[in-house]
Amino acid sequence: MWGILSESDVAGEHVDVAAKKRVEFEECAELAAALATSFSVSALKVWTCPAHLAVAITAGLGRNSSVRSLSVSENLFSETCVFTHGALLGTALKNNCTLESFDMFCRDVQSDCALAMADALQKGSTLKDFQVRGASFFARGPDDATGVALAEALKRNPTMQSFEFHGGRFSNQSGDAMAEALKTNVVLQSFRFEFGELVKETGIALGDALQANSSLESVHLDFRGCDPEATVAFVEAIKENSKLKSLGLCLDACGAETGKALAEALTENSTLQSFDFGIRYGGVGPISDGIGLALAEALKENRSLHSVHISMPEEDFQTGLALAEALKGNSTLLSFSFFNNDAYSTIVRRAMASALEQNVMVRSLHLYASITPPESGYSLNRVMGGWVEAEGGADDDQAIKMALARNRELHRTWSAVSALRSRGSGFGCLHGWRLQRAVIGFFMPSSCTHFPPADALDRGAPTARAA
């Protein structure tokens, strides 16, 4: 890599090709040879690059025995990255025997590139983490032929633990194939995928697949233009699922039936720890007026969730008030965020401040909103530390920040007590939770109306079991 990468780069663990001077055509053979013989480089990042550089990197990776992580990123406003257009990337993945992590972001995911990657994954790979994200709209990108090939790769690949693919036109054929793959895969732990135009039967198949899968802990699905019955059928299956710990759903629309099914799933499921729900801006289809209120009611009953993110485009301060009310009685949530055009209104902030007077568990709270100053004529979304700047409500903001700081300090106190118990101290010998509860109560503010679960001390975080 002399002349291309310095001596320190060769000896270092991370190499960013884009950070170096422009690689000329005659230097590519040198780069390929250097990559092939390097024993120290473990991470390689490739930005937008011309064809000759892509060929050189592919050749070097084919013989390299040290690179564990490869990241390919395309500048959306400049020349195309050749890696994302053709079989080169598939060749690199197929020939390398050490890669464990692959991440690609590009303007449009090309079908030939996606098929080449699927072929590489089918024929054996060391990859454990595979992420492909395209910025194209749903009308473009790979079709069901690619979706089926990717599903076949998941069915056969013995090492993949995390799989993500966004930027394709995958409908029922892909959905059915993925459902079949998820039923048989026994190593995959995280699955993120984008579907469109699914029918009810495919939604049922996907839900059944999650129930049958014994290894999946995290699922995030993006449903575009799908039949509402497909979404409802999928969500219904979540009620009985006892393995998933993290669920994410992004929808074009959310009618009353979908909202009801989601709320029931959150109420009845006792293993989910993280829930991320969003309704897409500009989505087509109905958005039920009561979806936010239904989710808020579900959070009052849920005793397993640690983290919740809700994003809804409509202005709806009633949902904000209902969510604040839900926080008052929830004893397991540690992190909560809400994106809504009314999320940072004075009335919602005041309600959140009031909720945190009683809630001692939430240590991270983020309210996001798009604010349009009358004099500017454009939408302003300025976030500083998770808080959107807005007029008024300074006292409420301060109250929220002080409550969060108090909760973080309480958590440190409980962690210290937990450490004492684990060391076999006298405190650990106290009989029963009642006396221990009294000791912990000494540190709690008088405004708090509930305690953390009994085993929060043991694990340093709340669990599904009530105190």
pLDDT of residue 351: 92
Cα 137 to Cα 84, 114, 140, 227: the distances in Å are: 16, 16, 6, 19
Is 45 a residue whose pLDDT tops 80?
Answer: yes
Query: In this predicted model, what pLDDT tens digit does every residue of 161-206 receive, in sequence order?
Result: 999 998 877 889 999 999 999 999 999 999 999 888 889 999 999 9
Whether residue 247 lies inside any domain: the answer is: no
Residue 10's pLDDT band, with cuts at 50, 70 and 90, is: very low
Instruction: Return the higher-pLDDT residue of 5 and 305.
Output: 305
Domain extent, residue 415, equals 271-284+291-467
Q: Specify the length of the chain in residues.
A: 467
Is 58 a residue whose pLDDT tops 50?
Answer: yes
Of all residues in the chain, what percent carry a pLDDT higher than 90?
33
**What mean pLDDT, rounded, does the chain reach?**
78
Element (H, E) at 101: strand 101-106
- Supply the pTM of this predicted model: 0.83
Q: What CATH number should be reported for the domain holding residue 332?
A: 3.80.10
Whether residue 318 lies inside any domain: the answer is: yes
Task: Point out the least confidently predicted range of 164-178, 375-389, 441-455.
Answer: 375-389
pLDDT of residue 217: 96
The number of folded domains in the chain is: 1
Whether residue 441 lies inside any domain: the answer is: yes
Whether residue 36 lies inside any domain: the answer is: no
Residue 43's pLDDT band, with cuts at 50, 70 and 90, is: confident
pLDDT of residue 107: 75
Query: In this predicted model, what pLDDT tens digit does every residue of 428-441 receive, in sequence order?
Result: 555 455 555 666 66
The number of CA neighbours under 13 Å toward the Cβ of 444 is: 20
Whether residue 78 lies inside any domain: the answer is: no
CA distance 426 to 294: 46
CA distance 81 to 425: 61
Query: In this predicted model, what pLDDT tens digit does every residue of 90-118 receive, in sequence order?
Result: 888 888 889 999 998 887 777 888 888 89
Could you tell me the sign of the dihedral formed by the alpha carbons of 418, 422, 423, 425, in that order? Answer: positive
pLDDT of residue 365: 92
**Residue in the block written with tokens 């009335």:** 347
Whether residue 342 lies inside any domain: the answer is: yes
Is 67 a residue whose pLDDT tops 80?
Answer: yes
What does the pLDDT average to over 3-11? 41
DSSP 80: P
CA distance 345 to 322: 14
Whether residue 344 lies inside any domain: the answer is: yes
Whether residue 382 lies inside any domain: the answer is: yes
pLDDT of residue 464: 32
